Structure 1
């Protein structure tokens, strides 16, 4: 994956942050926004550019839950399974999404990298339970039928 084009983009980001080690989190946030995950070769290159160890950069990348070392889909669906959502039947919603996208508890990203499905402990919208987000847009009081329709609408738009 690491080629001249990738190197140029990473260099731009690192330079925009003045090659400052203290900007590591901001730099890798931008990298993740660009690629939807943190590619290993890019992390190693950033470590080299900032003169920090690979262990340091991996420590930061794995400490924060929002960072991912695995490729994610264009649309990230987060299903809340906190107490309020769980009681209001979030698991059937999760199962409907997984069935529609041919995913399971071990495989959470579609082969075409269009969707990634994640469960989260809380989305902070308990009064709207059960709740999902798709790329941070909140969908309140969802049902299994609604999420299947929503996924199909997104698929149609993505074509």
Structure 2
């Protein structure tokens, strides 16, 4: 996701990317994806920079960022955990799983832990209904999670070793 280069370097990379596009204004979503990849999230300052670079209203950029759930305006954790809330998962205990993950992370869904290690979100369906309830971390699916110890074991896979 976001690399360790300086913010100025990332702005230069983003500007170079924008300058390389033949149809800049028509590529707003692609530009936003590139910006989020470079910076990790789309701050107000970054959205304004993109609007100025494309010569479009800042409100248009904000409208796109706030409409699509893929984009985030807040810093994200190093790892993203998602709880599937689709019908099969919901019926098989997704709410209980979500509450346990929130408890163990010390945050609510939609938030990021203070140490920026985890962000927690929910999804409508990930297509693993036979494994319900499902938790996905960084794209890896963990199914049939019913016990607090199972949640702890999954999260431990992503915590740095001391």
Is the pair's TM-score, using the shorter chain for normalization, greater than 0.5? yes
Check if 1:5 corresponds to 2:9.
Answer: yes
For the residues of structure 2 that align with 1:3 and 1:129, how far apart are their CA atoms? 41
For the residues of structure 2 that align with 1:141 and 1:126, how far apart are their CA atoms? 10
Cα RMSD, aligned residues only? 2.1
Asked if the contact 2:85/2:123 (under 8 Å) is kept, the reply is yes
For the residues of structure 2 that align with 1:152 and 1:3, how far apart are their CA atoms? 31
For the residues of structure 2 that align with 1:34 and 1:6, how far apart are their CA atoms? 6
Deviations for 1:35-54, whole angstroms, at most 9, x for unmatched residues?
Answer: 22211111110111111110
Q: Which piece of structure 1 moves more, 14-23 or 27-36? A: 14-23
Give me the TM-score of the superposition, normalised by structure 1: 0.87
Asked if the contact 2:108/2:120 (under 8 Å) is kept, the reply is no
**Alignment partner of 1:125 out of 124, 128, 131:** 128
Aligned to 1:140: 143
**Alignment partner of 2:44 out of 18, 40, 43:** 40
Give me the TM-score of the superposition, normalised by structure 2: 0.85
For the residues of structure 2 that align with 1:136 and 1:3, how far apart are their CA atoms? 27
Unaligned runs of 5+ in 2: 1-5
* 1:19 CA drift (Å): 6.3
84 and 3 in structure 1: CA distance in 2 versus 1, 3 angstrom threshold: closer
Considering fraction of residues, name the structure with more helix.
1
Aligned to 2:113: 110
